[in-house]
């Protein structure tokens, strides 16, 4: 098992409705030392932000869906969509 340290859960008002690439960039800058981040937010903001970060296209998050985007660097908002899981795959 890895000895990675985890940051506790935090509420960030930037993830409120209206979230976009500018807010994502601010979150990245604030957590630049993190090796990974998990963000939870609202639609349609997450779909449009992920689409912008992967170079376009149409992404549709269902309520309770989960996506993984690998970014080129901690300073970049350019990334690759690795997977997009609908909630039915995540349900027990």
H helices present in the chain, as ranges = 21-30, 45-53, 87-90
pLDDT digits (tens, 9 = 90+) for 43-87: 999 999 999 999 999 998 888 999 999 999 878 899 999 999 999
Question: Taking residues 12-39, what's their average pLDDT?
Answer: 93
pLDDT (0 to 100) of residue 73 = 85
Q: What is the pTM of this model?
A: 0.84
Kindly list the domain boundaries of the chain, sorted by start residue: 16-90
Nearest to 34 by CA among 1, 54, 10, 60: 10
Q: How many residues does the chain have?
A: 92
What mean pLDDT is reported for the chain?
Answer: 89
pLDDT (0 to 100) of residue 66 = 94
DSSP state of 57: -
């Amino acid at each position: 098992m890895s000895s990675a340290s985890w940051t506790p859960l935090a509420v960030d008002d930037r993830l409120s409705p209206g979230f976009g690439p500018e807010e994502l960039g601010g979150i990245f800058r604030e957590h630049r030392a993190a090796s990974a981040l998990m963000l939870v937010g609202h639609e349609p903001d997450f779909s449009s932000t992920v689409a912008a970060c992967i170079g376009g296209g149409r992404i549709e998050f269902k309520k309770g869906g989960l996506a993984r985007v690998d970014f080129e660097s901690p300073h970049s908002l350019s990334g690759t969509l690795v997977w997009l899981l609908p909630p039915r795959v995540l349900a027990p």
